[in-house]
Amino acid sequence: MRIAARTSSAEETREVGEALASLLRPRDAVVLMGELGAGKTTFAQGVARGLGIEQQVSSPTFTLIKEYSGILDLAHVDVYRLDRMQDVVDLGLDELGAGDDVLLVEWGDTIEELLPEERLRVELLTDEAAGEHIRVISISTAGAGWVERSAELEVVMLPWAVDA
């Protein structure tokens, strides 16, 4: 399924991430797409907040992976600096935590074959004509678990929903 949301501030983008976090299960992957500055890390901060993570979430571009513990443990990954699939394999994403971390992967669309089957793809798009802080957040799902959760997903996204 595909859902679109529209936000008009960084805080609102965080709120969307926070709302989505309530539906996450262990070993889910959230793939974040969007140009530099589109708000991927901002969105990630919202997801972390929704998972009850109190630590400050910053971009893992240079550390590649940062792990946080919350209601569910979260591994925040950024593959932007990697060039080879083997580099991603070498991160051992399946083994983070007890193997049941939620994976939040910035630029993850390029490596989806190496991610768990249950995935949310979240694309953040800017709309300069509409305004500097406007973001359209396009969400699509993969995996049987998200079919089960599709109704809930629609409900939690309702406050920001626009036509996909």
Taking the complex as a whole, how short is the minimal distance between the CB of residue 64 and other proteins, in angstroms? 13
Interface with other proteins (CB under 8 A): 33, 35-36, 79-80, 82-90, 92, 94-95, 98-99, 107, 110-111
Tell me which residue of 38, 24, 40 sits closest to 119, measured CA to CA. 24
Taking the complex as a whole, how short is the minimal distance between the CB of residue 20 and other proteins, in angstroms? 23
Complex with other proteins: residue 8 or 61, whichever CB lies closer: 61
Burial label, 37 (beta-carbon count in 10 A; 0-12, 13-18, 19+): exposed
The sign of the dihedral angle between the CA atoms of 138, 61, 66, 39 is negative
Complex with other proteins: residue 2 or 84, whichever CB lies closer: 84
Taking the complex as a whole, how short is the minimal distance between the CB of residue 51 and other proteins, in angstroms? 20
Complex with other proteins: residue 89 or 158, whichever CB lies closer: 89
Could you tell me if 101 and 75 are in contact, meaning their C-beta atoms sit under 8 angstroms apart? yes
Provide the 3-class DSSP secondary structure of residue 90.
coil
Taking the complex as a whole, how short is the minimal distance between the CB of residue 87 and other proteins, in angstroms? 8
